[in-house]
Structure 1
Amino acid sequence: MKTLTINASNRNQAGSAASGRLRAEGRVPAVVYGKSKEPENLSVDARELRSLLRTIGNNTPVVQLKSGESAARTSIIKEVQRHPIKDSYTHIDFQEVADDELVEIEVPVHPVGEAWGVKNENATIETVSQTVLVRCLPKDIPESINADVTALKVGDSLHVSELPAIDGVKYLDAPAQPVFAVVK
């Protein structure tokens, strides 16, 4: 997994007026929290956040959060709030995780290859689950999981139990849960 970093600044004031002033300056209010720490109010540059989210795309949102002179902290983007009309970011939540702490996180699943049923039976592949829940250490979090769908015919499904095994990663969803299906 490639390491993505975002710089943050501490903010002393909270509330809607202070947040509005930050947004007017081109910053986005943020908060970082974790199991063994108090929530901390931060702000991030709106352009840097937009670039980071574009880079993450449809992959796992794990970043290194750098604030001030302290070392970068491994964090998961838990929530990004957007303005409904302006399409600007209004707030972002980060969850800090320790390097030796097992985390449960939704990881995107992508189909790889062209299903036999799509190629030869004029069918389509349907994504039943876009993500699967996994448990692992932060260093083992996959960006995404690639599932080979080339053998699927009409009526076939690929289940969680058939996803590729990844060292240090345990699938938590039901083994019989379908991820992809080929339908006519």
Structure 2
Amino acid sequence: MTDVLNLKAETREKHGKGPARALRREGKVPAVIYGPGGEPEMCALVFNDLKKVVGKRSFFNQLVELDFGGGRTVRVLPREAQFHPVTSDALHVDFYRAGEHATVIVEVPVVFLNDLASPGLKAGGTLNIVRRAIEVHAPADAIPDHLEVDLTGRDIGDSVHISQVTLPQGVKPTITDRDFTICSIVPPTVAKE
């Protein structure tokens, strides 16, 4: 799990298109906090601080502590961000309140290791990736950065299922009714001349 990210925030009273545009002109990004523990709360973040982190894939799997000043902080998990279609700048961010013992549903990326130790890949097989990310239930304060799939000893025709992946303590896949496939090693395809 990565460290908790800290961002400065301020409460905002007005909502709608006009006030949101005014905030953006001031170098801020409108945001909303929702979830258990209170009513939805509107806030604004500093654009330059947010820009440094919102583009990273891990941003949506990382706990964020919003500092409102005066000793008030709120622990949240980023849920969604809207981006400008041309500049890719963040226009709005939605956060979900994450209490101390909360369990959240997140998508965790999959990392494939030891491809050089796979006889199937050495023989010319192709790694067919079925899932690049897996949706899991995880404790809010122990969200894994990634899940590792070891390809050591995998041959052509082998596949890796979720039951073969070691998950961190407290982390469970959201799909529980079947042993779904994460990847397989398929034979090389030869084009006819």
TM-score by length of 2: 0.85
2:181 to 171, 178, 181: 178
Mapped pair 1:147 → 2:122: no
Distance between the aligned counterparts of 1:118 and 1:42, measured in 2? 52
Equivalence for 2:78: 77
CA distance in 2, matches of 1:70, 1:40: 17
| Aligned counterpart, 2:18 | 17
Pairwise CA RMSD: 2.1
Query: Hey, what does 1:48 align to over in structure 2?
Result: 49
Query: Can you list the C-alpha shifts for 1:83-122, whole angstroms capped at 9, x where unaligned?
Result: 1122211110000111112222222221122161564122
Q: Distance in 2 between matches of 1:74 and 1:58?
A: 14
After TM superposition, the structure 1 = structure 2 runs for residues 59-138 of structure 1, keeping only pairs within 5 Å, are: 60-114=61-115, 116-117=118-119, 119-138=121-140
C-alpha displacement at 1:73, in angstroms?
2.6
Aligned twin of 2:168:
166
Q: CA deviation at 1:59?
A: 7.0
Cα separation, 2, equivalents of 1:48 and 1:118: 45
Distance (Å, rounded) in 2 between the aligned partners of 1:33 and 1:85: 28
Aligned amino acid, residue 171 of structure 1:
P
State whether residues 135 and 170 of structure 1, in contact with CA within 8 Å, keep that contact through their aligned partners in structure 2.
yes
Q: How many residue pairs were aligned?
A: 184
Please say which structure displays the higher CA radius of gyration: 2
Identity, % of aligned positions: 27
Moved more, 155-164 or 165-174: 165-174
Distance 1:73 1:111 in 2: 35
How many angstroms does 1:55 deviate by? 5.3
Structure-1 residue corresponding to 2:5: 4
State the match for 2:191 in structure 1: none
Q: Kindly report structure 1 stretches of 4+ aligned residues shifted beyond 3 Å.
A: 54-59
Match of 1:33 in 2: 34
Distance 1:149 1:64, change over 3 A: farther
Gaps of 5+ in 2: 189-193
- Give, in angstroms, the shift of residue 39 of structure 1: 0.7
| Contact map agreement 1:160 1:173 (CA 8 A) in 2 | no
* Inter-partner Cα distance in structure 2 for 1:147 and 1:69: 45
- Can you give the 5+ residue segments of structure 1 that lack an aligned partner in the other structure? none
Q: Deviations over 1:101-152 (max 9, x none)?
A: 2222222221122161564122222321122222232122212112212232
Aligned partners of 2:66, 2:164: CA distance in 1, in Å?
34
TM-score (norm 1): 0.88
Alpha carbons 2:35, 2:96 under 8 Å: kept: yes
Task: State the AA in 2 paired with 1:108.
Answer: P
For 2:148, the aligned partner's letter is N
Deviates more, 1:122-131 or 1:2-11: 122-131
Higher mean alpha-carbon deviation, 53-62 vs 169-178, is at 53-62
